[in-house]
A = this chain, B = another copy of it.
């Protein structure tokens, strides 16, 4: 552990209010002194948004929410905010809805209060994204960080168990990969370890009793920490691999993350004993891999990329595509051979070692 680092803590209020999103949201809106609220929520979540924002001084509800925030969609939301002279944006929804509110905040400077309905995590970061045709542009701006986030795990009770687990394992990957990502520091590692602890406790409870909000509360808290740590630490080897597999071969996001993570951990742990010790402590196991494998077994997580559309013949192509993006900070040396062995093991679902 070295203590030579820069860490930027993002200032934000978070309110965990299980079963009480409306009350908590009203308090945040009042705290910000807002009088003209624009609500952003997809048409599919209109009823939920109405319930959560009941009693607020809402002057406009904007329901055109599109994945990856196309520029014309952002422009229309910005125009609506100007037209209705709003002084606060309230987003109720998943990553696309939060992203739309951020796009409006980016040009208007309007404050955002986010009420997430998935474990996406965008609400805890100052990263924005916009797409123009096939091109996605992302950036970092202090204005897009929501001032407050209201987390209410009961809003996620309708999220199916398999999606909850996939989303939770994605958050877990954020935590594990944060241990050796390019900008990581001891604070990121500590928050990521707390995220692992919470996800490891919460996710099995969701599987055991999908109707009990307690597991979802714990997983939601873990997903929040995952987002905070990941936003600060950046993408490590795991996310670079998954980014290529998802983008180049259209593999499903969640399953890819679930399968690849233990192989990256098995590769890096021997070269990063401090990180592995932290992960192990968070799981309460002797090694990080032991904890991760036990959790994956309990969750019946996907185990092989070949079950999810990855073709063995494309491994050499994948190796070539991934290699240039391997972070210099990665603890283990990553040669073409190392990467090929890792992908082959992940393809067939071999025991990670």
Q: Given the known A-B contacts A186-B194, A194-B186, A221-B186, are A16 and B5 also in contact in the complex, defined by CB atoms under 8 Å?
A: yes
Q: Are A153 and B18 in contact (CB under 8 A)?
A: no
Query: How many copies are assembled?
Result: 2
Distance, CA A193 to CA B15, complexed state (A): 21
Does A46 lie at the interface of the complex (its beta carbon under 8 Å from any beta carbon of B)? no
Q: Given the known A-B contacts A9-B14, A13-B8, are A3 and B194 also in contact in the complex, defined by CB atoms under 8 Å?
A: no
Instruction: Look across to chain B and name the residue whose beta carbon is closest to the beta carbon of A19.
Output: B4
Does A220 lie at the interface of the complex (its beta carbon under 8 Å from any beta carbon of B)? yes
Distance, CA A223 to CA B101, complexed state (A): 37
- Which of B3, B153, B191, B225 is A153 in contact with, Cβ under 8 Å? B3
- Measured between beta carbons, the chain B residues less than 8 angstroms from A225 are 187, 190
Contact residues of A with B, CB < 8 Å? 1, 3-18, 153, 186-187, 190-191, 193-194, 198, 217-218, 220-221, 225, 281
CB distance from A235 to the nearest CB of B (A): 21
- Measured between beta carbons, the chain B residues less than 8 angstroms from A281 are 281
Interface CB pairs A-B, < 8 A, 6: A1-B218, A3-B220, A4-B16, A5-B15, A6-B13, A6-B15
CB distance from A186 to the nearest CB of B (A): 6
- Measured between beta carbons, the chain B residues less than 8 angstroms from A190 are 190-191, 193-194, 225
Instruction: Look across to chain B and name the residue whose beta carbon is closest to the beta carbon of A18.
Output: B4
- Measured between beta carbons, the chain B residues less than 8 angstroms from A1 are 218
- Which of B10, B16, B153 is A11 in contact with, Cβ under 8 Å? B10
Distance, CA A3 to CA B8, complexed state (A): 25
- Measured between beta carbons, the chain B residues less than 8 angstroms from A11 are 8-12
Distance, CA A18 to CA B8, complexed state (A): 18
Distance, CA A65 to CA B348, complexed state (A): 68
- Measured between beta carbons, the chain B residues less than 8 angstroms from A5 are 15-16
Q: Are B6 and A18 in contact (CB under 8 A)?
A: no
Q: Are B191 and A3 in contact (CB under 8 A)?
A: no
- Measured between beta carbons, the chain B residues less than 8 angstroms from A17 are 4
- Which of B8, B14, B153 is A6 in contact with, Cβ under 8 Å? B14
